[in-house]
């Protein structure tokens, strides 16, 4: 038998930890928004030690497509088209597609996903066939426990490259239970979603379904945080590098704020939920530091899209702007729908010093970036739309000067340099009081063009002044749409 080889600390590839918040707005993070009514000391401290981007974007303005794009390095509409997945959706990533975790496995990484998944599972339906929407519902679940054979595996994260998984689909989706690897961690019962309680904005609970007796929303974020910390502690004692995708369930609704964090912000229960989110991030960062591997761990902290629509009212009730100065919210093609907080740290790799990055960054670029770090050769058909953003993180160099925006309502936009063209406009109509508060001079239209160098808040639609640019950018969207397979 050959001797086992252990990498020395000097030669070991970096650990990679991606912490993805859920619906965290650009203006919810205090270092990015001096006027924020919420303090986020743990994210602030990581930014002060690492680098942060002021022009970073989720691949979509809504959750499931962003997650798909980040893990596959492909525009989400190449596979998922627009909106988020509904309860009991099948696995959205093809099992044979190369993903970040499956790519890292080839380089000796142990890979884990802990937290929210929301990319579908191949559920163990009795008879092997998913019931019709008339039986189980579409956006609202009416599935019953006896429709499933829970002795069979649930195909999900461990089918597309993760060695370990612990988490939930979504806190407001059935099954109302934790999943570990391919099994529920309980003997499920038929559970009524309306019985779930929340101390903050409840959001929309998507019906009923199998769940754990006594399921408690407040327990979810502490439990997945505990699991993430445990994973880091265990893996730091081993020689192989690890990749942890810690997918938070917050500050998405239901805002299940625990007693410890109640009243800790000046933005109501939503603000308290963001504070608790920041604390969870801080616990993971502290675990990395305590392991002695902080210097050689690439940490990315960001969000899957902009803040939820109800946060607009916080402007009136608490003087807090979850999108800061940006126009739009989750689901919108305007900047507030997809421009997100982004922090990176990797001292050994030169990502440090508390520097601000102005270059445009997409979470979709995480694939090509990690591939570059571990020297994985990207072949045709793998991570089609991902770019290596290391030069941006290290030297603020421009790598990405073009990308397509993807709203939650199937409206696409194109960014080229400082120009933004929104085909079908930014979103639906905004309330008059909001237009006045943001000093927006042009309401939503079918075609919108903005120059972010002069108008980052997107107050002025200048499409009528530049018809040739509009025509050119509209044609370019069509060209990109047709440039790669939709398989």
Q: How far apart are the C-alpha atoms of 73 and 365, rounded to whole Å?
A: 6
Is the pLDDT reported for residue 321 higher than 60? Answer: yes
Q: How far apart are the C-alpha atoms of 465 and 50, rounded to whole Å?
A: 41
Residue written as token pair 């940006």: 326
The model's pLDDT over 134-166, given as tens digits with 9 standing for 90+, comes to 999 888 999 999 999 999 999 999 999 999 999
* Dihedral class, residue 382 (left if φ above 0, else alpha if ψ from -120 to 50, else beta): beta
Sheet of strand 110-116: strand arrangement: 183-184, 179-180, 164-168, 110-116, 242-247, 15-21, 297-303, 343-345, 51-53, 355-357
Is the pLDDT reported for residue 2 higher than 50? Answer: no
Cross-strand bridge partners of residue 112: 164, 244
Q: What end-to-end distance do the CA atoms of the chain give, in Å?
A: 43
143: its two tokens: 């599935």
**pTM of the predicted structure, to 2 decimals:** 0.96
The model's pLDDT over 201-239, given as tens digits with 9 standing for 90+, comes to 888 899 999 999 999 999 999 999 999 999 999 999 999
Phi, psi dihedrals of residue 90, rounded to the nearest 5°: -75, 165
Percent of all residues in the chain with a pLDDT value above 70, rounded to a whole number: 96
pLDDT score of 247:
98
The model's pLDDT over 91-129, given as tens digits with 9 standing for 90+, comes to 999 999 999 999 999 999 999 999 999 999 999 999 999
Burial 398-429 (b: 16+ CB within 10 A, else e): ebbeebbbbbbbebbbbbeeebbbbbbbbbee
Q: Which helix (H) or strand (E) holds 110?
A: strand 110-116
CA 284 to chain centre: 17
Q: How far apart are the C-alpha atoms of 404 and 416, rounded to whole Å?
A: 9
Q: Judge contact between 449 and 390, C-beta under 8 A.
A: no
Is the pLDDT reported for residue 244 higher than 60? Answer: yes
Q: Judge contact between 191 and 208, C-beta under 8 A.
A: yes
Residue 405's pLDDT band (boundaries 50, 70, 90)? confident
Integer CA distances (angstroms), 226 to 17, 22, 163, 284, 351, in order: 15, 18, 18, 9, 27
Q: Which helix (H) or strand (E) holds 278?
A: helix 268-290
Provide the pairing of β-strand 297-303 with 179-180. Answer: unpaired
H helical segments located in 328-438: 366-374, 390-395, 432-437
- Output the CA torsion sign for 398, 470, 342, 234: negative
Instruction: Report all structural domains of the chain as residue ranges with CATH numbers, in order of start.
Output: 15-401 (3.40.720.10), 411-487 (3.30.1120.10)
Q: How far apart are the C-alpha atoms of 396 and 418, rounded to whole Å?
A: 16
Which of 119, 20, 114, 113 lies closest to 76, judged by CA? 119
The model's pLDDT over 64-101, given as tens digits with 9 standing for 90+, comes to 999 999 999 999 988 876 567 899 999 999 999 999 99
Peptide bond before 175: cis, by omega within 30 degrees of 0? yes
198: its two tokens: 């929340």
Mean pLDDT for all residues in the chain: 93
The mean-pLDDT minimum among 83-87, 173-177, 415-419 falls in 83-87
Long-range contacts formed by 188-194: CB under 8 A, 24+ apart: 188/145, 188/150, 188/212, 189/145, 189/213, 190/144, 190/145, 191/215, 193/141
């Amino acid at each position: 038998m050959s001797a086992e080889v252990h990498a020395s600390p000097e030669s070991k590839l970096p650990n990679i930890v991606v912490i993805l918040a859920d619906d965290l707005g650009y203006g919810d993070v205090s270092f990015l928004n001096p006027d924020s009514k919420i303090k986020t000391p743990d994210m602030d401290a990581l930014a002060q030690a690492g680098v942060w981007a002021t022009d970073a974007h989720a691949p979509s303005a809504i959750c499931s497509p962003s997650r798909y794009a980040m893990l596959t390095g492909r525009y989400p509409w190449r596979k998922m088209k627009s909106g988020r997945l509904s309860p009991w959706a099948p696995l959205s990533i093809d099992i044979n597609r190369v993903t970040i975790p499956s790519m890292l496995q080839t380089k000796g990484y142990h890979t884990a996903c802990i937290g929210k998944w929301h990319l579908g599972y191949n559920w163990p339906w009795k008879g092997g066939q998913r019931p019709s929407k008339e039986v189980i519902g579409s956006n609202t679940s009416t599935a019953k426990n006896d429709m499933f054979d829970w002795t069979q595996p649930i195909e999900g994260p461990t089918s597309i490259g993760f060695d370990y998984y612990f988490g939930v689909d979504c806190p407001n989706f059935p099954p109302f239970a934790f999943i570990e690897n391919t099994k529920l961690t309980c003997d499920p019962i038929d559970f009524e979603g309306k019985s779930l309680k929340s101390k903050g904005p409840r959001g929309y609970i998507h019906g009923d379904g199998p769940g754990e007796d006594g399921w408690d929303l407040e327990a979810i974020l502490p439990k997945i945080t505990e699991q993430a910390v445990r994973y880091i502690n265990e893996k730091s004692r081993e020689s192989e590098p690890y990749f942890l995708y810690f997918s938070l369930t917050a500050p998405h609704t239901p805002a299940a704020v625990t007693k410890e964090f109640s009243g800790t912000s000046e933005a109501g229960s939503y603000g308290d939920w963001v504070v608790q989110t920041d604390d969870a991030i801080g616990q993971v960062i502290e675990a990395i530091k305590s392991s002695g591997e902080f210097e050689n761990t690439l940490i990315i902290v960001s969000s899957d899209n902009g803040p939820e629509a109800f946060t607009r009212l916080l402007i009136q009730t608490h003087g807090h702007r979850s999108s800061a100065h940006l126009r739009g919210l989750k689901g919108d093609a305007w900047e507030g729908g997809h421009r997100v907080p982004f922090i990176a740290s990797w001292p050994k790799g030169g990502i440090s010093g508390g520097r601000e990055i102005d270059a445009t960054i997409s979470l979709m670029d995480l694939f090509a970036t990690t591939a570059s770090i571990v020297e994985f050769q990207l072949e045709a058909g793998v991570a089609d739309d991902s770019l290596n953003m290391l030069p941006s993180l290290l030297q603020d160099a421009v790598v990405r000067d073009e990308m397509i925006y993807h709203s939650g309502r199937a409206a696409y936009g194109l960014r080229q340099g400082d120009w933004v063209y929104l085909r079908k406009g930014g979103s639906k109509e905004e309330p008059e009081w909001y237009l006045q508060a943001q000093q927006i001079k042009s309401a939503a239209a079918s075609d919108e063009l903005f120059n972010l160098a002069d108008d980052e808040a997107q107050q002025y639609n200048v499409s009528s002044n530049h018809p040739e640019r509009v025509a050119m950018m509209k044609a370019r969207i069509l060209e990109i749409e047709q440039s790669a397979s939709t398989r």
